[in-house]
Amino acid sequence: MYNSKDMNILKSIKIFAVMLCLCAIKMPVALAADYTILAFGDSLTAGYGLGPEQAFPRQLERALRQQGHDIRVINGGVSGDTSSGGLARLDWLLSGIEHGKPDLVILELGANDALRGIPPDITRDNMAKMLAILEKAKITTLVAGMIAPPNMGPDYSVAFNRIFPELAAKYHDDLYPFFLDGVAGNARLNQSDAMHPNARGVAIIVKKMMPYILKSLKNP
């Protein structure tokens, strides 16, 4: 039989074991230090009007590291790029990344297509070809959706807005429905052109996208 002293020791051990289990449940799993994300897009990714430290890729990298994930984020944004421009440079960029292909590509293109009134069928075809390239390369992809500006009219908007969720489903990729969610239309979160997020706006985008990014990285 256990005496009272033994019972107290056993009780302490059980409490310690329960605490360890709770800590294990609450503690986020740190992703590997050699993980790389390629943020591939237009000026919204490149950081138009912002310093390098304020742009989406750098803010995302900092936010990931603050959560214990030592992940490198590459800025693959080109201001003014359309989906046609993205398609033209995707293979070249993937082949030039140091240490091999990225673990995740955030595909953010289409905004300039809509602003220029490019037919949605052309945007859809370009996006599909890029997703096919990434699928063939076995690179996990997060599609960052875009919404057409209202001045393009309802028919254009319907055709354009369907591109991103439909292609994400077709290629079995994760979807972040709207890259500018929570930021578009808010003067306090945008630069004077009312189109490009300021540093505060980018921080909100990063915060909103973070759960989607982590999900994509953990479930290739």
- Classify 73 as helix, strand or coil: strand
Q: How far lies 42's CA from each of 3, 45, 46, 189, in Å? A: 71, 6, 6, 18
Cα(194)–Cα(159) distance, rounded to whole angstroms? 24
Which residue of the set 43, 83, 113, 174 is catalytic? 43
Which residue of the set 4, 172, 192, 193 is catalytic? 193
Cα(213)–Cα(60) distance, rounded to whole angstroms? 10
Cα(67)–Cα(62) distance, rounded to whole angstroms? 9
- Classify 15 as helix, strand or coil: helix
Which residue of the set 42, 173, 196, 216 is catalytic? 196
**Residue 69 bears catalytic tag:** no
For the chain, how big is the Rg over CA atoms in Å?
Answer: 22
**Residue 99 bears catalytic tag:** no
**Residue 193 bears catalytic tag:** yes
Contact (CB, 8 A) for 162 and 128:
no
Catalytic annotation, residues: 43, 193, 196
